[in-house]
Structure 1
Amino acid sequence: MLTRRETLGALAATALAATPARAAPTSPRPTTAHGPVIGLRDHGILSFKGVRYGADTRPNRFQPPRIPVSWSRPVEALDYGAASPQSGGEANQSEDCLFLNVWTPGLDAGRRPVMVYIHGGAYSTGSGSSPIYDGSRLAARGDVVVVTLNHRLNLFGYAYLHRLDAGFPHSGNAGQLDIIQALQWVRDNIAAFGGDPDRVMVFGQSGGGAKIATLMATPSAKGLFHRAATMSGQQVTASGPLNATRRTRAWLEAAGVGPDRVRDLLDMPAEALLEAARAPDPVLGYGSLYFGPVVDHQSLFRHPFYPDAPDQSAGVPMIIGNTREETLAFLGGNPANTGLTWESLPDRMAPDVMRIDVAPEVVIAEYRRLYPDWTPDQVLIGASTAGRSWRAAVIEAEARAVQGAPAWVYQMDFPGTLENGRSGAYHTVDIALAFDNVDAPGARVAGPGARQVAARLSDAFIAFARSGDPNHPALPAWKPYGLMNRETMVFDVQTRLENDPRGAERRFFAQTPYVQPGT
């Protein structure tokens, strides 16, 4: 049964589904440090889309972001800004992409908690403009301010050029520096939108969570956020400078640019640079080139969670979440995984599915011992989830526990449905639940219990943003993760706290050294 608060939140969110009117003379007009903006008012929630926080990056390729030129006349903030150039399906792409979006219940001095969402896409694709990330329902539900943002991705944000040309010292982390500039914008401007700059929570899924883990070890990000939640997104290790340079050389070769002519890249079309990035990755040995944060000793001086949790973030409470069948999102629709047998399964699991150096026959034997009723397909999904996706979350939670810093851990068991009809708690299923957007296009979570689970999870995130503790009356008591009991909140129709769920799988994979895929 829904609580009174959940019922009121659902009613408010239903009203928010109406199409908003365009700007009117009475539209909200806050003033930022760069100039005034005009937003929309819809059923009590104010929205500001496409607010500029950085200058056009095209004249400044591979360099740190710059602040925008100030303006005096009010600028309409009614539509999402452009996404970074990418190979994904984003319709609006441009190197002029440093924009953010704000949803707020009011511009009064309410000092509301601020929830800043950093989108996923493996550092390569995506934007803060997905309907699933719309912050209206979350802002209404929790009386909070919600922010999403765009930043430079793939080669534009993470190609490491410094060892080939000293004029690009920060190129391997330019995308991270964009995010830091967005958080500085929040610090300096969010009070004008009714938010509290001293209660800023960052949360993100997949690559968004990995970006957050990296920020937790980045000195220039210190103090810009006060709580952190990662959803199926960890970053134990970043790229080393030598491997990052190997990738850059492969990219330059594919682009027809000599390693002594790096500055030729500044005049090439974005499309040509993206096409060259399709070159095979020389480090991984599979897939196209990986671009992600680099330990460059300019912006990032250590690996995010290796060899331990970063001291600079010990005072930042953290939520670490994963889904039970993460890799169903990647493997469940692949025809190569159709009709698997015990004889064909080993070749399918190595090397790019498991992504760790372990004999697939040994993995299969252990899973058949643990789960004798499972099919080859179930073993493929379960083992690849535990060995390649969940593993990093366990490492980070353990590191926080050793540090004595609080981390609340969750496992999402509530299923979604893939386009091909397969069901499971796959990678991304918890996004719409955290935003309380189960009816948004692309959410793919519905049916009995969806709203109930969304209420539990979104209220936990709201409580976390407000106080640094995710507990709320509709949840069982959620204890921080410890090495003795490994407390984990399992979100499902019957949400419950469990000690060490899937412990046998965790212990099995702990025997194999782990290196973050891509690094």
Structure 2
Amino acid sequence: MENSSTPVAQTRQGNIIGLAEDDVHVWRGIPYAQPPVGALRWRAPQPLEKAHTPYVADAFSASSWQNSDYCRELGGGDPGRFSEDCLYLNIWSPAARTEPLPVMVWLHGGGFTIGAGGLPPYNGSALARRDVVIVTVNYRLGHLGFFAHPALEAEAGETFYNFALLDQIAALRWVKEHIHAFGGDAGNVTLFGESAGARSVLSLQVSPLAKDLFHKAIIQSGYSLPDTAREHALAKGEAVATHLGLENATAEQLRDLPADAFWKLVAPHTIAPAPIVGDAVLPQPMLDMFFHARQHPMPVMIGSNSDEASVMAVFGVDLAGQIQKLRRERRFGLGLIKLLYPGVKGDVELGRQVCRDMAFTTMGYVVMQAQQRLNQPCWRYWFDYVAEAEHDTYPHGAWHGNEVPYVFDTLGQISPAKEYVTANDLAFAAHVADYWASFARKAHQCEVLSGPVRWAASVRGKDRLLRIGLNKYAGFKLVNRFMRARMALFKRVMRHHVTLD
């Protein structure tokens, strides 16, 4: 407290003490809701009481229970210690600021089963230096985050299944109330996320509980997998309880189960990487809401990567098998698809591209058209850059999640990338981060983002897309009607054919 350079945010929650790291102020591990433990498990997060002593926010909090090895391998790094008490957020803000700055709230990916807001790729310092305030959020994962059971449904009050989404909503409410104390503008909040985080953004864009809590959205590799049906979720909840020794369980018995009992479960007792439709958070299917342009109106950026199919093996999808199934059951459909993918040889490569486009690329097209119906701008992108030393490692393009350290401009800080990145790689990452920060600052005021290429939004009557990386090499190119014929077909069939079965 005696060090005048120590940042102290004076909030209604009490004084929160952070750290000064060069020209950025950092607060790590700020609680945004009461711990969801004991009687508060599987309930909406409850507001915090006012603190009477300063809170020292100098270390990342515990993450939600998960598979640590899996997170280190695929989720972005070591998630640290675990606890059911995991509802904390982190803030990076420029030390020198003269006016309230745009806020960017990040929701991490990981299939709703792994990840944390404090992982190394999500260090917000570099983005904060672009005159924005960065917030990263921890939320409940796995069955702690998504759970339905008749015993819980019978409790008084609103019906909730999507506790992870409720956590994200609580974090946004906290930001709305407190972010001014950290230099942020509560009236200019961009919600952005990747993979499951992107799916969360899409869900909150159609949730009545999230209305007016954010003003812009960035969706990185959002996928078109259908939401889990309420009936299926309830049946799975009963099956999980029975598997854990609680047949005909009461709510009290369920809440007495140890918090670490759930992440160890294997199929068929795992959760799907999609929210549950039919509660107060998500009354209607997310895809249907976008198909009917009933999302909250706001500027949107959306895109995906050139080798999104890299994630399919994690969910047991046989790429060649998808084409072989078409050959057996829908030969006419396969013939049409081959017309749309001229020159693509072999079932594996055709399956790779078809699965990528049906599950990921088409989502951007659907959102673009929904935005146009609301007269809201939509910036679409296709990320296809691979670090210069890694072209052989990634023969098919940018993997699922590869864009994240470019967005945060952390490529030179994280392992193993920092061992091989070049000056060209770092320069390219800086351009990507500039676009993202520019969107947060300007997307509500204009329809063109400045950068190496003037990135024009897809407004009504326009179908534009920015290629970020050209066949794995550096470059930016604005193109019209990107994969238009494929997108038009897959939009018609995606709701019926994009599954993990």
Q: TM-score range by the shorter chain?
A: 0.7 to 0.9
Query: Alpha-carbon deviation of 1:236?
Result: 7.1
- Please give the root-mean-square deviation of Cα atoms over the aligned residues, in Å: 3.3
Provide the C-alpha distance between the structure 2 equivalents of 1:126 and 1:386, rounded to a whole number of angstroms: 25
Provide the C-alpha distance between the structure 1 equivalents of 2:164 and 2:21, rounded to a whole number of angstroms: 32
- What SS does structure 1 have at the residue aligned with 2:286? coil
Match among 362, 372, 387 for residue 401 of structure 1:
372
Runs of 4+ in 1 over 6 A off after TM superposition: 417-420
Match among 381, 384, 400 for residue 427 of structure 1:
400
Provide the C-alpha distance between the structure 2 equivalents of 1:192 and 1:358, rounded to a whole number of angstroms: 60
CA distance 1:314–1:267, change in 2 (3 Å): closer
The answer as to whether partners of 1:409 and 1:487 remain within 8 angstroms in 2 is: yes
CA distance 1:486–1:312, change in 2 (3 Å): closer
Query: Alpha-carbon deviation of 1:414?
Result: 0.8
The question of 1:461 aligning with 2:442 is answered no
Q: Which residue of 1 aligns with 2:134?
A: 146
Q: Which residue of 1 aligns with 2:381?
A: 410
Match among 466, 483, 502 for residue 483 of structure 2:
502
Provide the C-alpha distance between the structure 1 equivalents of 2:237 and 2:107, rounded to a whole number of angstroms: 26
Query: Alpha-carbon deviation of 1:451?
Result: 2.7
The answer as to whether partners of 2:106 and 2:136 remain within 8 angstroms in 1 is: yes
Mapping for residues 229-240 of structure 1, pairs under 5 Å: 229-234=218-223, 237-240=226-229
Query: Alpha-carbon deviation of 1:398?
Result: 2.3
CA distance 1:482–1:428, change in 2 (3 Å): same
After superposition, the C-alpha distances for 1:177-199 in whole angstroms (9 at most, x for unaligned) are 11111111111111111111101
The question of 1:201 aligning with 2:175 is answered no
Structure 1, 297-306 or 217-226: larger mean CA deviation: 297-306
Mapping for residues 31-70 of structure 1, pairs under 5 Å: 31-59=10-38, 60-70=40-50
Q: Which residue of 1 aligns with 2:310?
A: 328
CA distance 1:442–1:387, change in 2 (3 Å): farther
Match among 266, 290, 296 for residue 272 of structure 2:
290
Q: Which residue of 2 aligns with 1:19?
A: none
- What SS does structure 2 have at the residue aligned with 1:230? strand
What is the identity, as a one-letter code, of the residue corresponding to 2:186? Answer: P
Q: Could you tell me which runs of 5 or more consecutive residues in structure 1 were left unpaired when the two chains were aligned.
A: 1-21, 282-287, 338-344
**% identity of equivalent residues:** 25
Provide the C-alpha distance between the structure 1 equivalents of 2:386 and 2:159, rounded to a whole number of angstroms: 41
Q: Which residue of 2 aligns with 1:305?
A: 287
Structure 1, 362-371 or 97-106: larger mean CA deviation: 362-371
Structure 1, 94-103 or 442-451: larger mean CA deviation: 442-451
After superposition, the C-alpha distances for 1:3-51 in whole angstroms (9 at most, x for unaligned) are xxxxxxxxxxxxxxxxxxx995641111222121211112111100001
Query: Alpha-carbon deviation of 1:329?
Result: 4.1
The answer as to whether partners of 1:407 and 1:481 remain within 8 angstroms in 2 is: yes
The question of 1:266 aligning with 2:237 is answered no
- What SS does structure 1 have at the residue aligned with 2:277? coil
Q: Could you tell me which runs of 5 or more consecutive residues in structure 2 were left unpaired when the two chains were aligned.
A: 72-78
- What SS does structure 2 have at the residue aligned with 1:440? coil
Provide the C-alpha distance between the structure 2 equivalents of 1:109 and 1:100, rounded to a whole number of angstroms: 24
- What SS does structure 2 have at the residue aligned with 1:36? strand
Point out the structure with the larger strand share: 2
Provide the C-alpha distance between the structure 2 equivalents of 1:360 and 1:139, rounded to a whole number of angstroms: 52
What is the identity, as a one-letter code, of the residue corresponding to 2:282? Answer: L
CA distance 1:422–1:70, change in 2 (3 Å): same
Query: Alpha-carbon deviation of 1:449?
Result: 3.9
Match among 248, 252, 261 for residue 241 of structure 2:
252
TM normalised by structure 2 equals 0.85
CA distance 1:181–1:107, change in 2 (3 Å): farther
Mapping for residues 68-467 of structure 1, pairs under 5 Å: 68-88=48-68, 89=71, 90-106=79-95, 110-140=99-129, 142-162=130-150, 165-167=153-155, 169-234=158-223, 237-275=226-264, 277-280=265-268, 288-290=270-272, 292-308=274-290, 313-331=295-313, 346-347=320-321, 359=330, 363=334, 366-367=337-338, 370-372=341-343, 374=345, 376-415=347-386, 421-423=393-395, 424-442=397-415, 444=417, 446-447=421-422, 449-467=424-442
Provide the C-alpha distance between the structure 1 equivalents of 2:105 and 2:454, rounded to a whole number of angstroms: 26
Matched length: 478
After superposition, the C-alpha distances for 1:224-280 in whole angstroms (9 at most, x for unaligned) are 1111000001467432211221221222222221134343111111222333x4231
Provide the C-alpha distance between the structure 1 equivalents of 2:113 and 2:37, rounded to a whole number of angstroms: 18
Provide the C-alpha distance between the structure 2 equivalents of 1:112 and 1:396, rounded to a whole number of angstroms: 27
Q: Which residue of 2 aligns with 1:8?
A: none
The question of 1:476 aligning with 2:453 is answered yes
What is the identity, as a one-letter code, of the residue corresponding to 1:118? Answer: L
- What SS does structure 1 have at the residue aligned with 2:262? helix
Query: Alpha-carbon deviation of 1:299?
Result: 2.7
The answer as to whether partners of 2:43 and 2:163 remain within 8 angstroms in 1 is: yes
What is the identity, as a one-letter code, of the residue corresponding to 1:462? Answer: A
Provide the C-alpha distance between the structure 2 equivalents of 1:333 and 1:308, rounded to a whole number of angstroms: 25
Provide the C-alpha distance between the structure 1 equivalents of 2:104 and 2:485, rounded to a whole number of angstroms: 35
Structure 1, 64-73 or 396-405: larger mean CA deviation: 396-405
- What SS does structure 2 have at the residue aligned with 1:30? strand
Provide the C-alpha distance between the structure 1 equivalents of 2:369 and 2:3, rounded to a whole number of angstroms: 52
CA distance 1:389–1:297, change in 2 (3 Å): same
What is the identity, as a one-letter code, of the residue corresponding to 2:398? Answer: A
Structure 1, 251-260 or 458-467: larger mean CA deviation: 251-260
Q: Which residue of 1 aligns with 2:463?
A: 486
Structure 1, 424-433 or 471-480: larger mean CA deviation: 471-480
- What SS does structure 2 have at the residue aligned with 1:104? strand
Provide the C-alpha distance between the structure 1 equivalents of 2:92 and 2:494, rounded to a whole number of angstroms: 43
Structure 1, 357-366 or 190-199: larger mean CA deviation: 357-366
TM normalised by structure 1 equals 0.83
Structure 1, 148-157 or 82-91: larger mean CA deviation: 82-91
